Amino acid sequence: MKFNTKLVLGIESTAHTWSVGIMDFNGKVMSVVNDTFIPDKGGLHPYLVKEQHLNNFKRVIRQALRDANCKMCDIDLIAFSKSPGLGPILKIGAQVARMLGQLLNIPIIGVNHCIAHIEIGRLMCNIEDPLTLYVSGGNTIVSAYESNKYQIFGETLDISIGNMIDMFARDIGLSHPGGPKIEKLAHQSKRYVQLPYVVKGMDLSFSGLYTAAKKLIDSKTYEISDVAYSLQETAFAMLTEVTERALAHTEKDEVLLTGGVAANKRLQEMIAYISKEHNAKFEVVPLKYAGDNGIMIAWTGILRYISEGRPNLLNTMIDPKERMDTLTIPWRK
Ligand code: AMP
Ligand code: MG
């Protein structure tokens, strides 16, 4: 089969999910296949995640090629997540990308995972210049484009919102991922119990809130659903406050909600409310593309490749701690 435009294969490998997405250079999705590590107990152990990705990477690539009805030799560009994330896991994506690039003699391009979450949102929701709230198992970031970069207006100072909810869920005996189960549980209550609300300047801290909620559970003075409800209300109100202040400051007229936690209806409701107050259009990234996926990496790879061309090999080194606000965004000039 002949394709009338070029194809990119995107590899997501920053944490729990190994995902491969194939897309054409016009932004048409051809396929996306995920394999996600789910811990039996505790959090993400890098060694166990790495083993799972190593055992599954080939199957996932093959399935993505089959679903896209193409062969490896039809691919023109490989994009992979080079930052930020867990070092041993980023390395697998980078190594697979390098091997494929060399075997096929095609360029490879490294992509910042956080920027990819925003770019796929702009594409899928057909919006131009949003203020973005990115909430996931690894990140909690409020950002917007300014002065040729995705500036960070607010972020967590300790754990991410998704991680905090997952830890609380584990403490009350719920399996991973805890987010959807806590959302359900919170629905059973309307009794708000005071919990620490920690916004420092434009940044957030969730560890005190987590500890206080855990203490309430241990004290057995409230129903579990009351604590789940109060935890959600407090954490989401903190996120909403910071997002609203960034919106007032940047005067953007679009708000984008993305990351795995974007699935939460109560959070959507709160962010929709402040967006309306500021006359901004509110969009949630379709859930298939809001969590970690290879398509967001593929698309951001295309954008950078078209504007900067083939990178030199040094630019394809992984960088577990790279901040999105250090990178220029040439395709948005
Ligand atoms: P990601 O890291 O972007 O793949 O997102 C995974 C995170 O999203 C995990 O922490 C989940 O618990 C969380 N999550 C998924 N669905 C929901 C939900 N309905 N409410 C809150 N958190 C959620
Ligand atoms: Mg993510």
Q: Which of 261, 267, 263, 221 is closest to 241 using CA atoms? A: 267
- Tell me, what's the pLDDT at 1? 57
Distance, CA 187 to ligand 1 centroid (Å)?
17
C-beta atoms surrounding 309 within 10 Å = 9
Q: Please check whether the domain covering 7-117+290-332 is classified as CATH 3.30.300.30.
A: no
pTM of the model: 0.96
Residues 6+ apart with CB under 8 A from 195: 209, 212, 213, 216, 230, 231, 234
Examine the pLDDT at 155 and tell me if it is beyond 80: yes
Ligand 1 site, CB within 6 A: 136-138, 162, 165-166, 177-180, 183, 259-261, 263-264, 291-292
Which H or E element spans position 118?
helix 113-124
Structure tokens at 109: 């391009």
Give the residue whose CA is nearest to atom 2 of ligand 1: 137
**Whether the predicted pLDDT of 2 surpasses 70:** no
Q: Which of 161, 261, 287 to mutate to test the pocket of ligand 1 (most atoms within 8 A of CB)?
A: 261
- What is the number of alpha carbons within 13 Å of residue 189 lying toward its C-beta? 19
Q: What is 129-284's CATH number, 3.40.50.720, 1.10.1660.10, 3.40.50.300, 3.30.420.40?
A: 3.30.420.40
What residues does each domain of the chain span?
Answer: 7-117+290-332, 129-284
Residue 28 pLDDT class (50, 70, 90 cuts):
very high
230-249, pLDDT tens digit by residue?
999 999 999 999 999 999 99
Q: Indicate which atom in ligand 1 lies nearest the CA of residue 36.
A: 4
For residues 80-94, average pLDDT:
97
CB 237 within 8 A of CB 198: no
Report which bound ligand comes closest to the CA of 232: 1
Q: CB–CB of 8/82 below 8 Å?
A: no
Q: What pLDDT does 4 receive? A: 73
Q: For the residues 312-327, what does the mean pLDDT come to?
A: 91
Instruction: Give the C-alpha separation, 165 to 149, whole Å.
Output: 30
Q: What is the mean pLDDT of residues 309-326?
A: 90
Report the distance separating Cα 51 and Cα 169, nearest Å: 25
